[in-house]
Structure 1
Amino acid sequence: MDSHISLGNALGNVGIGLLILFAILIVGYFVFSLLTRYNDNQEIARGNEAAGIYMGAKLLGLCIIVGMVSYSSHSWLDMLIWSAVGIVVLCLVYIIFDLLTPRTKVCEEIAKGNVALAQLLRSIIVGVSFVVGTFLM
């Protein structure tokens, strides 16, 4: 009987965790979209691969941070707090990259479909997310 209780608790935790994760991803998508000067939904819907790669990288980075938080802590509050920090950090990555590369306007290039830039940003975002995530472990 105890195994059913633990299985039930585990399934409940997975369900709660997924609900929180989806909420975090929705908030992250919204915040990340506010930062770009193009319409993310329209660009992705029209098949702009660069926009899809870039947004996907930001959401993947957020998932990496959330995953590492959930691995090191069993607190839903910690997950929410560090997810907010993750969103801020990933926004800063964009801002800093844009400032350090004044000749390359990130939003303009992504809107034009510059896949090379999207790939570069994806690598930076995923790398930063792993580093931030390890700080939490």
Structure 2
Amino acid sequence: MKEFSWDLLDIGIGILILFVILLAGYGIFSLLTKFKDNQEIARGNEAAGMYMGSKMLGLCIIVSMVSFSSHSWISMLIWSAVGIAALCIVYIVFDLVTPKTKLGDEIAKGNMAVAQLLRGIVIGVSLVIGTFLM
């Protein structure tokens, strides 16, 4: 019974850490965009919702891979922060290498094609980053 209690405690701590990481990631990702994510999502901008959802999914992928290989909660937090930073860098670099298409402007306009492109990039890069961090 003791082992079961410790497993439940670990799950609870892991979920709490996941929420902290997701909230931090959401806030940091929102700072990178030129539009207000919350407002766009609230007004029904599907492209903004898809893009933010993709970033959250990508972050969950990174956290899952990091948690699999981490031996402490602190290590998990640190490597997850590295994952957030890596996703931010990927967004900035991709925005720089596509000067004819301003990604943030297109998402704010509701351009689903750009949102789907970014979704693929974010999820793919998250899998690679997560693998690097394992």
**Structure 2 length-normalised TM:** 0.97
User: In the alignment, which of 27, 30, 33 is matched to residue 30 of structure 1?
Assistant: 27
Matched with 1:87 is: 84
Unaligned runs of 5+ in 2: none
* CA drift at 1:73: 1.8
User: In the alignment, which of 71, 74, 89 is matched to residue 71 of structure 2?
Assistant: 74
SS class of match (2:34): coil
Larger radius of gyration: 1
State how far apart, in whole Å, the 2-side matches of 1:126 and 1:74 are: 25
Letter in 2 for 1:102: P
**Structure 1 length-normalised TM:** 0.95
Matched with 1:108 is: 105
CA offsets 1:69-126 (integer angstroms, 9 cap, x no match): 1111231011111111111111111111111100000110000001111111111111
Task: Give matches, 1:7-86, under 5 Å.
Answer: 7-86=4-83
RMSD over equivalenced CA pairs, Å: 0.8
Matched with 1:97 is: 94
Percent identity, aligned pairs only, is 69
SS class of match (2:35): coil
Does residue 118 of structure 1 match 2:115? yes
State how far apart, in whole Å, the 1-side matches of 2:39 and 2:71 are: 37
State how far apart, in whole Å, the 1-side matches of 2:52 and 2:7 are: 31
